[in-house]
Chain A
Amino acid sequence: MKENTSFFKKPAVQTILASILCAVLGIVLGYIILLCMNPAHATEGMVAILKNFFKFSGKPQQLMYYLGSTLVKAVPVILCSEAILFAYKAGLFNIGAAGQYTVGILASLYTSLALGWNWFFCLLAAVCAGALWGAICGFFKAFCNVNEVIAGIMLNWISLYICNIVLGNETCMNTTKSETYDIAAKNPSGILPGFLQGVFGNNQYMTIAVPITVIVAVVILVILSKTTFGYELKATGHNKDAAKYAGMNAKRNIILTLVISGAISGLAASLYYLTSIEHYKIASSVPGMGFSGIAVAFLGGLHPIGAIVAGLFVEYITLGGQYLNTNYFNPQVADLMIAIIIYLCGFVLFFKTIINKPKKVQKSNAEADKNASAKKEVQR
């Protein structure tokens, strides 16, 4: 009956290890790319990326400012990954997070710029819009058995075009700049309240978005691990037949899950755009935030708190690209490298399998061999 409880065999430890391995491998691969491009300055380039905003360490105020900026910019990707992992726990792959994020942009900017609402109601509007978008996806899944991935992708494009049309309107769009108006100028009440801006070098984008993100992550963690609702969702996610057998209402849960996931995506958009750090521009593709969120969710080991760490890492690396010396590397190299690092983040499960390999292979072989597998022997 002795279970092997070696430190490295604990699932949580393995998940963390796999994530770290992914990140490290991504960085190594990025370094190799730099080496190919310009061997003489590769190390210097990598150091610049990793050193990141710490290059401002001589100026504490700027250092804190850019620390703040990194936090602010990590907010949407973290929340998108929370949305994705939440749905994932319930067995749903919410690739529609990108679209829910887009309608979140639409709702928050329209209510702010065209209607002049207070930030709180703009935020609420974005949450509702995201939730609605998730609900549509969930409705199709629950009642028409349309795969949520297909419905999600379709809705992504629909949201993009609606967003382009509505925000392209002159009440929202500054046509000379081809981007939406600055909320700070047009509707000061629409800007999120600041949060410790003094600490973060008077960073005007540092708002309550950051603490809200942490709160959302904790709430998700609590819902998933402590509540009956989380219990149902995870049961459905692991084994929907068993959930049905247990009398859980699968249809309701599917819709509810996607509504919540959509609401979080919508919240992600509003918490970003309502800081006015970025303005919406007519785009020909769906904002990538929802997709980066997938990688971040996996890198974070599908854990709400892990997603925060992973999101910060991804944003840190993403922002690090600009510190490459353009005399040696053109900015596309940075983009490529970062894309590869993020891409590798999605391989966490793969690495987890590799870490587990000796045991896993035996297991699967045994299972293929016969239903009474080696596991049972281990048990006895």
Chain B
Amino acid sequence: MKKRLFAVLMAATMVASLVACGSTETPATTEEAPATEAPATTEAAPAADNTEAPATEAAADLKIAMITDSGDITDMSFNQTTYEASDAFAKANGLEFQYYKPTEDSDEARTAAFNNAVADGYNVVVVPGYLFAGMIASVADANPEVTIIALDVSQGDFEGAGMTELPSNVCSFTYQEELAGYMAGYAVVKEGYKKLGFLGGMAVPAVVRYGYGFVQGADAAATELGIASDVEVNYVYGGQFFGDEAVTATMDTWYSNGTEIVFACGGGIFTSAGEAAKKVDGKVVGVDVDQSGTIDGLYGEGVCVTSAMKGLAATVNATLTDVVAGNWAAHAGKIENLGIVSGDDPSLNYVQLPTETWSMTNFTVDDYKALVKSMADGYVTVDSNIDVQPTTAIKVTTFDNIH
């Protein structure tokens, strides 16, 4: 009974602090934080103190850990980006950093990895991927002194794991992937490609948003150009986040039937698209990060036309900076949905196309900037609904999942 009571009190504390921070929207200070929470319980106060008051502590006391989801840090995508960003940040700030790989793909194993990290003294844990909702639900309250930065875990994911509100030691970031997908779809059609393909990983919300955005972007561009009847999109999910023979075979069929470019969207699944593209001079659009280096390196120069990026690295970097600088309260307990923040400087946005490795000629960087501007200004809207496939003027052929 005692434990349960404690848990209730803890939860109350968290809610209190969340409300406090959320309403004021100002960075919490050491003086304020305990003051807000002291009435709730004396036990919770010191714990909350740690969380809320990193500013007074030397940055050296922070130890950053990352836990991988079902993949590994070499997936050339989600985990890898997070890992590299965290690692770089830790090195730049002279902090300790280590990543943990759970023994299995299960909540229990992820929780074990988390506890392991905590036992090793890590107090800032970065977890990339919606799979972590269950783990966060089971550990967040019990470890109030540990800051958890989640990427891509949405409100829905938390609710699915039985959490309605985030405790103040947790924050999460989701992205408006549909915007990035839209940009990529718009760009490639404007560039002149007419036969498009979308190869998703598993049909998880982020992937679906990318895909539907891609379709909408292609549709908009085709309509603008008046070639809607000529543009086609093949649409499929691989059912896994890695390529294999079966996926490659499907891609081979697509490319040999005229598909010019495939948006390979989901972890390592781009390898199948790349392999198939290589054989017939096809093209690939990368995802999450600027994959042009990776894909061109593996499958030949120019295979990767562009990438629909979301600012994982930027998010990790910014959030960790805030944690170190004592600005955690800006994020505490929040789920932030990141997208376009600037119409004038696309590089500030959390969804982008890579301008540094720009390879398109018909659709130029200036065209891209104009597109971003119009999106930021609300002239272009992208539907983020993932329940129904968007209706389009162009023809979208949906295939059964490969696996």
Direct contact of A and B (CB under 8 A): yes
Contact of A175 among B105, B116, B134, B203 (CB under 8 A): B203
With a cutoff of 8 Å between Cβ atoms, the chain A residues found around residue B120 in the complex are 55
Count of A residues near B, CB < 8 Å? Answer: 30
Which residues on the A side are within 8 Å of B134 (C-beta)?
Answer: 182
Interfacial chain B residues near A284, Cβ < 8 Å: 244, 403
Residue B104 is within 8 A (CB to CB) of chain A in the complex: yes
Check if A322 sits within 8 Å of B103, measured CB to CB: yes
How many of B's residues come within 8 Å of A, CB to CB? 32
Contact B108 A278 (CB under 8 A): yes
Which listed residue (A62, A179, A185, A318) contacts B103, Cβ 8 A? A318
Distance A177 CA – B153 CA, assembled complex (angstroms): 12
A208 beta carbon closer than 8 Å to chain B: no
Chain B 232-251 interface mask (CB, 8 Å, partner A; 1/0): 00000001100010000000
Complex: how many Å from CA A66 to CA B111?
A: 11
Interface positions of B from 68 to 99, Cβ below 8 Å from A: 72, 97-99
B239 contacts A282, C-beta separation under 8 Å: yes
Residues in A whose Cβ lies below 8 Å from that of B119: 55-56, 59, 62
Quick check: is A321 within 8 A (CB to CB) of the other chain?
yes
Q: CA A178 – CA B239 in complex, angstroms?
A: 8
Q: Assess the B101–A277 pair: CB atoms within 8 A.
A: no
Is the C-beta of A326 less than 8 angstroms from some C-beta in chain B? yes
Given the complex, which residues of A lie within 8 Å of B101, measured CB to CB?
322, 326, 331
Selected from B3, B97, B105, B108, the residue in CB contact (under 8 A) with A281 is: B105
* B38 interface residue (CB < 8 Å to A): no
List A contacts of B108 (CB < 8 A).
69, 205, 277-278
Q: Does B342 contact A (CB under 8 A)?
A: no
Residue of B nearest to A331 (CB): B101
Which residues of A (164-206) have their CB < 8 Å from a CB of B?
A: 175-179, 182, 185, 202, 205
The answer, yes or no, to whether B368 is at the interface (CB within 8 Å) is no
Cross-chain contact A326 with B131 (CB below 8 angstroms): no
Query: 0/1 per residue, A313-346, Cβ < 8 Å to B?
Result: 0000011011101110001000000000000000
The A55-91 residues at the B interface (CB cut-off 8 A) are: 55-56, 59, 62, 66, 69
- Chain B residues near A (Cβ < 8 Å): 3, 72, 97-106, 108-109, 112-113, 115-116, 119-120, 130-131, 134, 162, 202-205, 239-240, 244, 403
Q: What are 19 A-B residue pairs whose CB atoms fall within 8 Å in the complex?
A: A55-B120, A62-B115, A62-B119, A66-B115, A175-B203, A176-B203, A177-B131, A177-B204, A205-B108, A318-B103, A319-B103, A319-B112, A321-B103, A322-B103, A322-B116, A325-B98, A326-B98, A326-B99, A326-B100
